[in-house]
Amino acid sequence: MKSEPDAFSIDDLQKVKIEPWDGIRNYQARNFMRDQMRIGDKVFFYHSSCAEPGIVGLMRVHSKPYPDPTAFDSGAKYFDAKSDPENPRWMMVDVKFSRKLKKPILLAELKGYSELQDMKLLQRGNRLSIMPVEEKHWLFIEGLF
DNA sequence: GCCAACGTTGGC
DNA sequence: GCCAACGTTGGC
């Protein structure tokens, strides 16, 4: 799961411990939260759109999917008039802090490993802010900690 | 700031 | 349903 550190960083998560991952307005990203995530699933926290993009920490899924309340708040940045509270368009989960890596694993480093060449994160043009990680890739990256 | 790669919108 | 225009993401 990606976040711009200026908006919400791994340090912010370490402080608050649990964070509702709201504001996702992309159907594919929503589907991953709504359909694939289970409580306790491990998640990489990735800093994007910054000087040194990369994996900076670990967290876990901490709730079942539920409607994103910011979609119903007409004053909120992520308000969506087309999301009906009776039939919510945007679903999200809460995440819980696990740990911060001593040293981030930067995107530039990840790109260098032949073992990760087919990883979704590294595919050309990928802009998804939430995506699944294959087990083989997860295990390889864990070995880099 | 630039640009590639999408995703969304809206006219037809 | 098609597709051009526009908006967004995100690395560089």
Segment A49-98, tens digit of pLDDT: 999 999 999 999 999 999 999 998 877 788 887 888 888 899 999 999 99
Start-to-end CA span in chain A (Å): 18
The pLDDT of residue A82:
81
CATH number where A97 lies: 3.10.590.10
Q: Is the CB of A27 under 7 A from strand B?
A: yes
Q: What is the extent of the structural domain holding A62?
A: 2-142
| Tokens read off for A139 | 């295990």
Total domains in the fold of chain A: 1
* pLDDT reported for residue A121: 95
In order of A2, A47, A72, A74, A82, the CA distances from A77 in angstroms are: 18, 21, 11, 8, 14
The continuous run of DSSP H or E covering A11 comes out as helix A10-16
The model's pTM: 0.93
CA to C1' distance (Å), from A123 to B2: 21
Residue A107 beta carbon within 7 A of nucleic strand C: yes
Strand partners, A96: A18, A60
In this complex, the answer to whether residue A125 has its CB under 7 A from any atom of chain B, a nucleic strand, is yes
Q: State the pLDDT confidence band at A2, using cuts at 50, 70 and 90.
A: very high
- Give residues with Cβ within 8 angstroms of A99, minimum separation 6: A57, A58
**Which nucleotide's C1' is closest to A53 (Cα)?**
C11
Helix (H/G/I), strand (E/B), else coil: A110: helix
Predicted pLDDT at A75: 78
pLDDT in tens, A102-112: 999 999 999 99
* Chain B nucleotides covered by protein, CB below 7 Å: 4-8
The pLDDT of residue A135: 95
Is the pLDDT confidence value at A136 over 90? yes
